[in-house]
Chains A and B, each alone.
Chain A
Amino acid sequence: MDILYLLIPLSLVLVLLIGAVFWWAVDNGQFEDLEGPAHRILHDDDRPSP
């Protein structure tokens, strides 16, 4: 069970990472508009402009 000595610290690092990503997301305004992006994905255009 010595693997725990690796896995538990690893889990701490992961939590830290997830926390940082969430922190960034909040600061970046990802949670401000929960309605628009759902529509936006529907009309992205991948044809080149004339």
Chain B
Amino acid sequence: MPSASLLDTPETCFHCGLPLPAKIAYRVVVDGTERPMCCAGCAAVAKTIVGAGLVDYYRNRAAFPDPGAAIPGFVDELAAYDLPDLQRGFVHEDADNAAEAALLLEGIRCAACVWLIERRLRQLPGVLDASVNYATRRMRVRWDAARIKLSRILTAVVEIGYRASPFDPDKAETARRAERRQSLKRLAIAALGMMQVMMFAVPTYFASEGEIAPDHIQLMHWASLLLTVPVLLFSAREFFVGAWRDLTGHRLGMDVPIALGIATAFAASAWSTLAARGEVYFDSVTMFVFLLLAARFLEQEARSRSGDALERLTRILPERCRRFSGYPASRATHPLATARLAVGDHLLIGTGERIPADGMVVEGIGEADESLVSGESRPVCKNPGDPVMAGAVNLGSPLVMRATAVGTQNTVAQIARLVDRALGEKPAIARLVDRAASWFVLSVLAVTALAAAWWWATDARQVLPVVIAVLVITCPCALGLATPAALAAASHHLVRRGLLPTRANAIETLAEVTDIVFDKTGTLTRGTPAIMQTTLLGALSEGEVTAIAAALEESSRHPLGKALHAAAPAPYAATHLIAHSGAGVQGTVDGIVYRVGTLEFVRGIAGTGRPIEPQSIASCTLVALGSKQGWLALFYFTDMLRPESCAVVTQLEAMGKTVHLLSGDSPGIVAHIATEAGIARGRGGASPTSKLDYIRALQAKGAVVAMIGDGVNDAPSLGGAQVSVAMGSGTDVAQSAADMVLLSSDLHVIPEALRIARSTRAVIRQNLVWAAAYNIVALPLAACATVTPWIAAVGMSLSSLIVVANALRLVPSGAAAARLAHTSPHPALA
């Protein structure tokens, strides 16, 4: 058997695939060949895998493991998981001393990983069972607590290069799984019942009178009855429960006619069977129940798929953190389950670790990657006193932070709640449909009574089939499903793109938008200054002056200083740094004293000679660089347009929308930015109130306004516009006032969202028209006894399925979804 896997190349580490260092210090014999390893961690992992006889992993794997996962030293901390206190949260003990826990696995890249982990754990004495779910990256492990410790199991996972952390499936998750299982069972029982009842019913459709012996017919009727009872009692239970809830609540919902139809048909059929004469409708009952359940199951799946993104958002927080037991007196830390954190706890956040709670930096200077929450991919510098948010990753040096919001109070949980609110709220159109459905049900019952009375007078034998057909065929399910199914599918799509709808009618309103008002700072522009232009005044090149300035500003906390530092990698090291507050920084690079800062500050060292008159550029801030030899450079800073702004404005105008720009900045700057972005209507110097007035004026002219903003000053106009989008990087106030939150901070999503909203509205209309047309045609047919109950059941179920299938067109297809996941700037939601 060839031992070389697809991933075998000589220049890289055999285990993790990273480039090898110049001098290879680690080699491991794998499958008879000596293989180079990049580090001690990989070598240790490879040795463990080979030693356990699991070398097949290297033959079968399709992807390299996650290099970050193989971290030695992590193992020491795992001993904490043996503490009963910590285990109580996630370990369930059953009889015979067997314990069971759900673990979340990190580092799974391909299906070979699943095999490797399961094999390795099952080899351990005392492990009773281990099964990894490849789809959810979770593992269930059962072990004998008397023979092996949990820490040993976790260590074994680390030894082969993965990380396992306890996962406490919260109640909502458990409930959803139980609900899905229950729906599957109901569906399956209904399907089995339907198929078998149909077997007994089909012969009677085609047999002429007297062709089948009455005894045989009676036998088939009894068999059908037996098969229908579980379908009725188990599968159809929720319709009866729903109908009862509606009736006791003095409402008429859709479950009422359904339950009435099923119950009447079953009672009539059961009576026919017992009395051994008359028609039976068991086939209609079972098929009706099955098709209804199938439609509901599909809807439930569509809904839970949009819930998945949400779940991943909350799952992103680490399971454990390191808490200082007596900060600042003692520097000792001990591991703690994140769920047990309290406000005021001091935590140590190491490099590369995820921050478990909202808080404030107390000590250390770090850089946080907050892309999860803000969509801003550039790391944000964190100094003592700066706020940090849960879910961000510390990319800088270790930080000490004090937790200020834990558990359900932190940012990530709040975002999850915003979405919950949107999913829970019923949009205006759905409420209207619900009210209409009550009247609809009432009129159906009236028509049924009339039809029954008329047929009683003309042909009493037809009464029951007509009543059943009318009740069944006019089920308002299609009507009721039309809107929610489409909205659930559309929100799913939008969340994937990084736009969270937080209020239910946001999507509907978005489809009708005529005017789009952008805020400037932080929305159309980045909100942080960047170098727009550099004017050279001395002998040094642009690269050199930028590098020198960057070195001087190394530890700067001023936004301009940070921007300058971020502009260039600093090959130079500056010494003797002295910061002059409000003026600039002085420092020594390669023995030469430089100053960077305001013109006046630099003039203090570069001499009195004014530099060449700086050309005035609107909306620019000027920073100068100079040394004793004279002026070196002028840096022009400006709040740059986001790279996509112009394209987005063009796209929106092409879609026939009017684009406006509103800002509190001076009119000159706003006019400049508006021209640059290609916006014809811009207004500067706008206070929060005048922004709102501007929007009101537009609305008075009949416009449907979408406001896109990010700041506290935008909150009133966000609330005042018919539909509003807050930038994910914006303030909390803005986000809670807005109907949608743009998590990805990528404006391209806006025109995309308008298109999605328009197709959603189209789908809702098609669904409503279809449902109404179907009922208008079907009702008279059923009342005239031209439709048998089973055709009615098929028609009714098909109408619901068509509605759901139509809505599912809004969910991106598999291939498109994979592409989205690939390009999405928002990994947590992809």
Contact = CB atoms under 8 A, between A and B. Distances in A.
**What band does the interface of chain A fall in when counting residues whose beta carbon is under 8 Å from B?**
20 to 34
A16 to B, nearest CB: 9
A4 B133 CA distance: 46
B192 A39 contact: no
A6 to B, nearest CB: 11
Given A4-B219, A26-B181, A36 B133 contact: yes
Interface in B203-240: 213, 216, 219-220, 223, 226-227, 230
Nearest to A34: B135
A26 B178 CA distance: 10
A1 B114 contact: no
Contact of B216 (A1, A22, A36, A40): A1
B223 A12 contact: yes
A39 B134 contact: yes
Interface of B (DSSP majority class): helix
Interface in A17-39: 18-19, 22-23, 26-27, 31-36, 39
B184 to A, nearest CB: 5
A23 B188 CA distance: 9
A34 B220 CA distance: 37
A26 B185 contact: yes
A12 B132 CA distance: 37
A34 B110 CA distance: 15
B286 to A, nearest CB: 12
B196 A15 contact: yes
B227 A42 contact: no
A1 B576 CA distance: 107
Interface residues of B, number: 35
Contacts, number: 78
Contact of B184 (A5, A31, A45): A31
A50 B55 CA distance: 10
Contact of B111 (A4, A5, A27, A36): A36
Contacts of B59: 43
Contact of A43 (B112, B196, B213): B112
Nearest to B56: A45
Contacts of B189: 19
Nearest to A47: B56
A50 B115 CA distance: 18
A22 B115 contact: no
Given A32-B133, A36-B114, A45-B56, 12 more contacts: A9-B223, A11-B196, A15-B196, A15-B227, A18-B192, A22-B188, A33-B136, A34-B135, A35-B135, A42-B60, A43-B112, A49-B53
26 contacts: A1-B216, A8-B220, A11-B196, A12-B196, A12-B223, A15-B193, A22-B188, A22-B192, A26-B188, A32-B133, A32-B177, A33-B136, A35-B135, A36-B111, A36-B114, A36-B132, A36-B133, A36-B134, A39-B110, A39-B134, A43-B56, A43-B111, A43-B112, A43-B115, A44-B115, A49-B53
5 closest residue pairs by CB, A with B = A36-B134, A39-B111, A49-B53, A43-B60, A33-B133
